[in-house]
Structure formats: structure tokens, C-alpha cells
Amino acid sequence: MEYFEGKVKNVLRTSDIKDSDKLGTEVIDSLENGDLTKQIETESFFRIPRDKITFNLPQKDNPLVLNFESLGSKEGKTTTLHTTMTIPIKKGSNSSVELPDFNSIPIPQNVRKECKNPTFIDNACKEILIIGSGSYAQNHNNLDGKRIYTTGALALDGNANSMTDTEIHTDGSMSLGKNMNNASKVILEVKGATAFGGQLRLDSSTVLIGGSMSVDGHMDLDKTTVYVGGSASVSKHLSISSDSKMCVAGDLEANQIEIGGKLFIKGTVRGKIKAGQPTYVDDTNFIEKCGVRSTSQTLTILWNDISTDVDYR
């Protein structure tokens, strides 16, 4: 039994115990390959049939339990051994802070034909999937409750005002020809650069930009978080309310800046600071102040508490 117990422990040491399906397969395969035969000495063996192996994965706080039967033969006498390995698991959690990965908005599934690469985005579709890049003319007001997902760039002409509960994701860049005013509970997730051709006024929203960001007008943030992975420029005033935060990995330039909340900068700031002060940070502090905190489950095998029971039948 020590031989087979050692094989199981070797699998547990080298496998990801959080991947339960893969772990179960690897443990069983370690004990059985076809019909595994372990030669002990001349005319003696152990044999473990595959259909006699079960591996019960942990539910909640339960341990891993491995059951298998082996047929042992010595001097012409065959004995069946039923073995149970109980492997205690300790559950914990690991907290970490990382910069945005721009994948918080999931890609729409089972999208209707008329909602995939549509001619207009201000239609009846609540989920719109644009494969590749998309360009849309005219105004795009009242895009309430929509999820727009683009695997390339997205270009919108005109205004996009008065939207609520709207999610927009682009794998490429995003541009808006004119204003985005009265936007509430909006998530903008752009892996590339972003350019706004007019005012940008956001309330209770989240903006995640992987590249640079430019606003040709005023930019007002109220209860809003903005992350810019490159530099940012605002042609007129930038206003950050007391319950808002803006993070810029590069330089920031604005005609006038009012900071009631938090402004974290890795680069430089150019423009008249009317109120408040920016906070200059290095790489480590930028991640700490501007990253997203996540918690993952950890599983630890209690090696000293593993028990093996053998029932001779």
C-alpha cells in the first residue's frame, strides 16, 4: 500500500487541487493504466481494476477521499484489499491588487442575428456584438440598458447623451464625435486609446482606458472612477468631485483642474490647479491606489493528517 499511497501523494504535490476534474483524472490515472500490475516479488502482485477506483472531490469543508480495491496474490492465494485514503484540505483566501485587465464586461452570448454587427446601435437590441471594428454616424442618445461589445475599434459620430446602465467594451480604440453628457451608471472599458470630441460628464460610472485619453471640452466626474493607462488631456476644465478618483499612468494636461477627490499621477501635471493637489506615485503605489482588489480561494493539503485505512476481505 505504501507504493500506491506514494503515487497519489506525488500527484497531489504537482497538481492544481483547485482544478477538481483534472485532479480526479490524474489521481485515478496514477493508480491505473489499463489494469495496473505492481510486481512485488516472484509470483506475487497487486492489481487495481479501473472500475474499482473512486475519487470523491471536496464539497464545502469535506476532505478528499480516495477509494480503491486491489487484488493481491501471493503463493497462489488471492486477497481483495479495500483501501480508503482520507486527505484533509484546509481552505483559505488570498487577496491581491492588480491593474485592470479590461475584461470585466463579458462578451454577449447567443446574440440574435439582427443584434450582431447591426446597421444602427440605437435599436431595440439590449446586447450588441460587433465582430471587428464598427463605425456609426448620427447621434446615439438614450442608449439605456445596453451592452455594446466590440472586438475591434468603435467610432461614434455625434452625441451620446443621457445614457443610464450602459456597458461599452472595445478591444481596440474608441472615439466619440461630440458630447457624452448626463451619463449615469455607465461602464466604459476600452483596451486602446479613447478620444471624446466634446464634453464628458459622468455620474456613478467607471471608465477604464488602456491607452491615452483626450477630451476636447470639459470633463466632470461625480461618484466616478477613471483609469487611464497612458496620458490624458482635457482642453478645458477637469473637475473631480470629492467621491471620485482619477488615475493616470502617464502625463495629465488640462486648462484648469479642480480636485475634490483623488488624482493619482505617475507622470507630470500641466495646467492651472484651482483646488486640491494631485498625488504623485511610483509604479508600486500606482498599483496599490489604482488597482482592482481580488480575492481567490486557496486550498492546502494537510500532509501530516493524511490517513490510509485498509480492509482485508
Nearest one of 177, 272, 188 to 225, comparing CA atoms: 188
The yes-or-no verdict on residue 61 having pLDDT over 80 is no
Quote the cell numbers at residue 33: 493504466
* Average pLDDT taken over every residue of the chain: 85
d(CA 31, CA 55): 11
Half-sphere exposure of residue 7: CA atoms within 13 angstroms, side-chain side: 14
Report pLDDT digits (tens) over 252-269.
Answer: 999 999 999 999 999 999
**How much is the pLDDT for 1?**
57
The per-residue pLDDT for 302 is: 81
Of the two residues 281 and 142, the one the predictor is more confident about is: 281
Q: What is the mean pLDDT of residues 110-132?
A: 93
Has residue 199 got a pLDDT over 70? yes
Which pLDDT score, from 0 to 100, does residue 92 have? 74
- Kindly report whether the global pTM for this prediction surpasses the value 0.85: no
pLDDT in tens, 145-183: 999 999 999 999 989 999 999 999 999 999 999 999 999
Mean pLDDT of 273-297: 89
pLDDT single digits (tens) 93-108: 776 778 899 999 999 9
Q: Who contacts 170 (Cβ-Cβ below 8 Å, separation ≥6)?
A: 150, 152, 153, 154, 189, 190, 191, 192
